[in-house]
Amino acid sequence: MSLAAKDAASAHSSVLDPKYHGATNKSRTDAADLTVSSIDTSKEMIIRGRVYDVSDFIKRHPGGSIIKLSLGSDATDAYNNFHIRSKKADKMLRALPSRPVADGFARDALSADFEALRAQLEAEGYFEPNLWHVAYRVAEVVAMYWAGIRLIWAGYWFLGAIVAGIAQGRCGWLQHEGGHYSLTGNIKLDRHMQMIIYGLGCGMSGCYWRNQHNKHHATPQKLGADPDLQTMPLVAFHGLIGAKARGAGKSWLAWQAPLFFGGVITTLVSFGWQFVQHPKHALRVGNQLELGYMALRYALWYAAFGHLGLGGAFRLYAFYVAVGGTYIFTNFAVSHTHKDVVPHDKHISWTLYSANHTTNQSNTPLVNWWMAYLNFQIEHHLFPSMPQYNHPKICGRVKQLFEKHGVEYDVRTYAKSMRDTYVNLLAVGNASHSLHQRNEGLTTRESAAVRVTGH
């Protein structure tokens, strides 16, 4: 890093305790705690220069409890990027009790420049969906599913199940766009498209996905807040989380790297989501439409492969789900899991969440297709409502913003990201691993605190 970059980085002066470091993370931009001491951290937040009391609104918030994650902080960037297509949100915001922010409060320079960039990109049309691109993506997964089914019917069950499994994974990428309302830009239509694509294509609930995934976007890699870190007992992505394992759980984590990349853990997660978590949520909230789409998926599968008998159809289904789950979960893991985690009681800026706790994979045609443009994870976390195919067009401007403020723009090759993810899983699961020694600052007392608080 140049001297000028180091001077710029000094503005972010809060050094992260080494126990929160990711096992393979070699550099980071120190991020100041942006908790605002002049407001009531139990019920207030700052949005666009005003302090809002949300105490009576939390239970009515359409997005659920995610709003609690911004209490005590400047939530301007989170608000702008989650509600870019919602006029209803601005109407609700105006109805809340508020007051001007106290004298002396100012946004940091990086956040101010990020907001200026977001406004420029919006004015230039980068948030506008392309319906032709959406039509191509939908046609692609339908064609892949049909090809997989025809191959199985022709006797090539192994190859057919792999093709269908990749199609399931690509339905996961596509519903992800729907959940961010970047398929058509119409919130109601995108929600329904997500329900169809996720319910039929993956056997899962779009409603539950939005509930969990938006929390991840609000606070990526934050202990006690990001659901993507709440993965025990199947897998632990950080030493502070792995420290909670006991007995057989520790033995399991010792083998988690080959179990994860070998498809065992990803398959268990897939079945847990399909048969427990997602239908349970849909039942709890009474979402009959989603339950119907999930049920139709199994009916269609049996209609296509019932001639194999119940056992044969299920074995084929299990293999197909294993392929799809391994494809999508390993590709999701490479972008965050080996990076630093954030203490549960610390607020950092929206931009530094993306910079410090996310990594991109190489911009190549194959990787762009394979990861459905989510190899641009930095851009996706900065602008979650932007259609993902636009990320390659703006990545240079994001890099310039980061360089101006001395912030690392982390891009790794696809192979290195996979290796780093694997090594991180090894380090977390094995206390004797050399990389795991970075987390030896965690004392016995702190380990107990982690177990008790869940942080």
Tens digits of residue pLDDT in 163-200: 999 999 999 999 999 999 999 999 999 999 999 999 99
9: pLDDT confidence band, cut at 50, 70 and 90? very low
Over the chain, what HEC string results?
CCHHHHHHHCCCCCCCCHHHCCCCCCCCCCCCCCCCCCCCCCCEEEECCEEEECCCCHHHCCCHHHHHHHCCCECHHHHHHHCCCCHHHHHHHHHCCEEECCCCCCCCHHHHHHHHHHHHHHHCCCCCCCHHHHHHHHHHHHHHHHHHHHHHHCCCHHHHHHHHHHHHHHHHHHHHHHHCCCCCCCHHHHHHHHHHHHHHHHCCCHHHHHHHHHHHHHCCCECCCCHHHCCCCCCCCCHHHHCCCCCHHHHHHHCHHHHHHCCHHHHHHHHHHHHHHHHHHHHHHCCHHHHHHHHHHHHHHHHHHHHHHHHHHHHHHHHHHHHHHHHHHHHHHCCCCCCCCECCCCCCCHHHHHHHCCCEECCCHHHHHHCCCCCCHHHHHHCCCCCHHHHHHHHHHHHHHHHHCCCCCCEECHHHHHHHHHHHHHHHHCCCCHHHHHHCCCCHHHHHHHHHHCC
Q: Which fold has domain 38-107?
A: Flavocytochrome B2; Chain A, domain 1 (3.10.120)
pLDDT in tens, 245-289: 999 999 999 999 999 999 999 999 999 999 999 999 999 999 999
349: pLDDT confidence band, cut at 50, 70 and 90? very high
pLDDT in tens, 209-253: 999 999 999 999 999 999 999 999 999 999 999 998 999 999 999
18: pLDDT confidence band, cut at 50, 70 and 90? confident
Question: Which is more confidently placed, 328 or 444?
Answer: 328
> So where are the chain's domains?
1-34+125-455, 38-107
Question: What integer pLDDT is reported at residue 435 of this predicted model?
Answer: 53
Question: What integer pLDDT is reported at residue 443 of this predicted model?
Answer: 37
Residue range 66-83: average pLDDT? 95
Mean pLDDT for the chain? 90
Question: Which is more confidently placed, 419 or 9?
Answer: 419
pLDDT in tens, 427-436: 999 875 555 4
pLDDT in tens, 88-109: 999 999 999 999 998 888 889 9
pTM: 0.90
